[in-house]
Structures are given as structure tokens and as C-alpha cells.
Amino acid sequence: MFMRPLFPVNGDREFLEEFSRFLDSVKKTVAKFSECLRAFCEGKDSVSGLSREVDALETEADEARRKVERIVFSRFVTDKENTIELVEKIDDVADAAESAAWDMDIRPVRISPEMSEILVSCGKELEILVSDLVRCVSDLSNPASVVKYSESVKKRRDRVRKMVHDLRHLIFSLRNHKDLVILSDLSEKIIKIADSAEEAADRASIIAVRI
């Protein structure tokens, strides 16, 4: 994935490579989370292994984030604060996916077909949402592109929130306390993934206007 430089800095190539690696790791983390979510809904034993894969991908994202932040602090001349906030918000997406994957490793949980359908749909929507976020932040010197994908992120975030709203009506009708707690926590973290992506897209819009 090629990206124009966010700012004129020495060593652009290193920054672009690390930022691309960071975005790729976050995207893979959410994709693996979606796969884990499907397995969770289907009651498969593969959930434990998939949750560990989510954790490993999030660790890769953290390592790349730290390298990106070091470059920003040492080389960027302008807009350091907004850039760091952008990177942190993107990292929050992966963090929430990792935390949600840990929740799913607490089993067994009884999930109705209706809840399963909503959860799987949320996972698919989050994959597309994060792909749009990556496109949004990949060329901040192109405001039109940033606005286009930022709006897409916001629309998909609203869809996720609507699905989770419907899901919660089903969750709070559960009589099993453990199932209710686990699924409630999972629904909160699904919203956290979507909200963090929207906040990152908003921050990208601010940076794009200033370039």
C-alpha cells in the first residue's frame, strides 16, 4: 500500500513502511477477531486458538505503533499532537478487538440463532469499517479521499451501533447471569471497535485539512 507522506520529514520511507505495517496489523487483528466471533457463535473449539491469534496480531500492531511514534517525535516538525492522537485511536481499534477476543474464550455461552446472526453481521461490518479506515488514513494529502472514507466509517459505525442495540434487547432477556455478563461485555467492546475507528477517521480529517 503506497501512501504519500503525512508531513515532510527526513526518512519518509521508514515512516511509510512502519505506518503501513501498523495499519496492516490493525486490519488483520480485526479480521481475525471477526473469524473468532463466527467460531464463538458456532460453539467451535477453535475459539481459544483464534483468540490467541488475535492477541499475537495486536502485539504486532503495538510494536509497529511504538516505532511510528518514535519517528513522529524525533522527526515531525508540525502537527505532532494530532498525528500521535490519530495513531493512538487506530491502536484503540486493535486493543478493543483483542479484549473482546479474550471475552469469547470464556465458554460455554448459550447464544440464540438470532443473537448469532447479529454478532456475525457485526463482525463482517467491522471488517469493512476498518478497511475503510485504512483507506481514509492512507493518503492524508488527499482531503477528498479522506472525507469520502471518513463518511463511510461513520455510516458503518452507525450500523454497528444499531445492530448492537438490537442485540442488547435479546441479551437482557437472558436468565443465565454468566451468559448475560459475557455477552454484554462483548457488545460493549464491539461498539468500542467501531467508535475508535470513527474517532480515528475524525482525527484524519483534521490532519488532512491542515496539510
DSSP string, 46-64: THHHHHHHHHHHHHHHHHH
CA 160 to chain centre: 12
pLDDT at residue 11 is higher than 60: no
**What are the structural domain ranges in the chain?**
12-210
Contact assessment for residue 175 and residue 79, using Cβ atoms and an 8 Å cutoff:
no
pLDDT at residue 14 is higher than 50: yes
pLDDT digits (tens, 9 = 90+) for 92-102: 999 999 999 99
What is the band of 83 on the pLDDT scale with cuts at 50, 70, 90? confident
Kindly list the distances between the CA atom of residue 159 and the CA atoms of 96, 118, 129, 154, 167, in Å, as whole numbers in the listed order: 18, 11, 10, 9, 12
pLDDT digits (tens, 9 = 90+) for 164-200: 999 999 999 888 888 899 999 999 999 999 999 999 9
Task: Residue 11: name the closest of 63, 68, 51 by CA.
Answer: 68
φ, ψ of residue 155 in degrees (nearest 5):
-65, -40
Task: Tell me the CATH class for 12-210.
Answer: mainly alpha
pLDDT at residue 10 is higher than 50: no
